[in-house]
Amino acid sequence: MSNPPYPLHESVKDRLHPDYVNFYNNFLINQPQTHYQPISISRAGSPIVAGGSNPVPVGRKQDYLIRRRETPGPQVPVRVFTPVGSSAGCDGWPVVLYLHGGGFVLGNIDTENTVCSHMCIRAQCVVITVDYRLAPESPFPLPLHDCWEAFLWMIDEGASLLKLDLRKIAIGGASAGANLAAVVARRATEGPWPKIYQVLAQVLVVPVLDNTADTKNNPTWAAYRFTAALNAEKMLWYRRHYLPNEKDWSNPEASPLLTPIESLCRVPPALIFVAELDILRHEGEEYARKLQEAGVVVDLQLMRGMPHPFLAMDAVLEAGRSATTMICETLSRAFGAQSNMSSEGSGRQL
């Protein structure tokens, strides 16, 4: 364990955007490192990522405890953001299931309220975020079980409770949450069942997609081993908590990049953000390539000069604000398009 300060590494300090460098040197250089302190301290401290803006006002914000349908465990807490107004017309609201980041170890129902509130207001949709269980107390696959249960609730009880239009669903998340979102999006499109819903888009922000990656087999893990915010040592610390059994590292439900291509042909169009100076950049780019090879429409956005947590730093980084705008515009376009329930969409009969 080392003690502060923690200056930016020589390999990246001149390549990071000046706005991030200035903020880091002024506010973060002496902050304790997550992987050098007890998890309880990290969970009890300030937000996972400093530099974020406050949520924007929405019509309603409500918390629910939802019952499980397919897996054992406690009820799953979710938070629902609803736009101003009683409904989006006779067909109901479009809906986004959005999953927070935090390396599967940190984060909670408050973590990504800012981006959730922006999606709600700017894309005029209900947003559901999930307070899934965390490792190491609840390792893989328990957080995934919670997110899948939230999806099942959303398309059943939640649909009538929240007045949702199930022809207009999107699934998204950031970092670890994007890993979970990619799996939920793929699960939601499997099977020959009658189509009672459509998943029109998935939004994956700096996703964790390959838990077999390391500095020896992945070019951006090697190039940015000592990068800011999420270096290789820290990512391995998260991984070992979430996936204590190394045999699980190559499971496609832990590493979506390893999903057989034939299982990706029906997943929804994807908006994927990668950060230039993020160790996870290569796996995000490879997943985009694999989806395109499977025939899926992909919009891959490379955020120049950015480290891993740029989206959550929207108060100080223009990249965070512009990414939020791109997410909202993508959702608006997807929800504005006419849904075709008989197309190669996704669906499940409960």
Q: Is 278 among the residues known to form the active site?
A: yes
**HEC secondary structure over the chain:** CCCCCCCCCCCCCCCCCHHHHHHHHHHHCCCCCHHHCCHHHHHHCCCCCCCCCCCCCCCEEEEEEECCCCCCCCCEEEEEEECCCCCCCCCCEEEEEEECCCCCCCCCCCCCHHHHHHHHHHCCCEEEEECCCCCCCCCCCHHHHHHHHHHHHHCCHHHHHHCEEEEEEEEEEECHHHHHHHHHHHHCCCCCCCCCCCEEEEEEECCCCCCCCCCCCCHHHHHCCCCCCCCHHHHHHHHHHHCCCHHHHHCCCCCHHHCCHHHCCCCCCEEEEEECCCCCHHHHHHHHHHHHHCCCCEEEEEECCCCCCHHHHCCCCHHHHHHHHHHHHHHHHHHHCCCCCCCCCCCCCC
CA distance 271 to 274: 10
Q: Is 175 among the residues known to form the active site?
A: yes
Catalytic residue among 165, 308, 314, 339: 308
Catalytic residue among 175, 255, 339, 346: 175
Q: Which residues pair with 273 in a beta bridge?
A: 205, 301
Q: Is 40 among the residues known to form the active site?
A: no
Catalytic residue among 146, 165, 210, 278: 278
Hey, which residues are catalytic here?
175, 278, 308
